[in-house]
Amino acid sequence: MSAAPRVTVLDYGSGNVRSAVRALEHVGAEVTLSAAPEDVLEADGLVVPGVGAFAAVMQGLKDVDAIRMIGRRIAGGRPVLGICVGLQVLFDDGVEHGVRTSGMGEWPGTVERLQADVVPHMGWNTVDAPDDSVLFSGISQERFYFVHSYGVQKWDFDVTQPAMRPPAVTWSNHGGPFIAAVENGPLSATQFHPEKSGDAGAQLLRNWTGGLR
């Protein structure tokens, strides 16, 4: 029997980390809540949670040197999963209340306020996942739990190398389309909260941890 995958949930002051830890333990991972370099860099998988404001999350990540460590993991092909604002900060930038804050720039795009009559977008919603999605294998018809006022509403990824496989992008809709998840080699992220999404969220985490070995 193979050993449980070792997952570190990044501890940088974001809320909601305990529920992520419990959800990952529920699907069989050995979980550490830490920002220590050895835990972040050496784990089989790293989860980057995020709630609240884009700028505050970016500052929290900088305060524990997480941006450099996340970059090292991605460059080395080591899996990373961002959740909620943990997805948003992977894009070029975010605009909140007229203030633009630079993100990590792993993917092109700007996080902006959703164009919907009711904001925040809070509750269960469906997704439109590509056929080759690993995260949504077996659960593409399920509903997931969202809590957010901002999102990435345009995707313009230019593949400059023909041999490069483009990211798998999953969409949802609230007043218009927005990105619900991205899978890009070792780097994956969801706008919704898998740890709050019941059996479907648990299966998504199981799909992710299953690829860590």
Provide the greatest CA pair distance for the chain: 53
Q: Out of 121, 148, 174, 193, which one is annotated catalytic?
A: 193
C-alpha closest to that of 124 among 58, 47, 200, 61: 200
Which segments of 64-197 does DSSP mark as H helices, in order? 66-75, 85-88
- For residue 58 the two structure tokens come to 């970016």
Residues 6+ apart with CB under 8 A from 4: 28, 29, 30
Residue 42 annotated among the catalytic residues of the structure: no
CA dist 117 and 52 (Å) reads: 21
CA dist 158 and 35 (Å) reads: 33
CA dist 182 and 104 (Å) reads: 15
Residue 193 annotated among the catalytic residues of the structure: yes
Residue 195 annotated among the catalytic residues of the structure: yes
Strand partners, 179: 171
Dihedral angle computed from the Cα positions of residues 67, 109, 107 and 164, in that order, rounded to the nearest 10 degrees: -170
Q: Out of 25, 84, 112, 142, which one is annotated catalytic?
A: 84
CA dist 51 and 168 (Å) reads: 24
Residues serving a catalytic function are 84, 193, 195
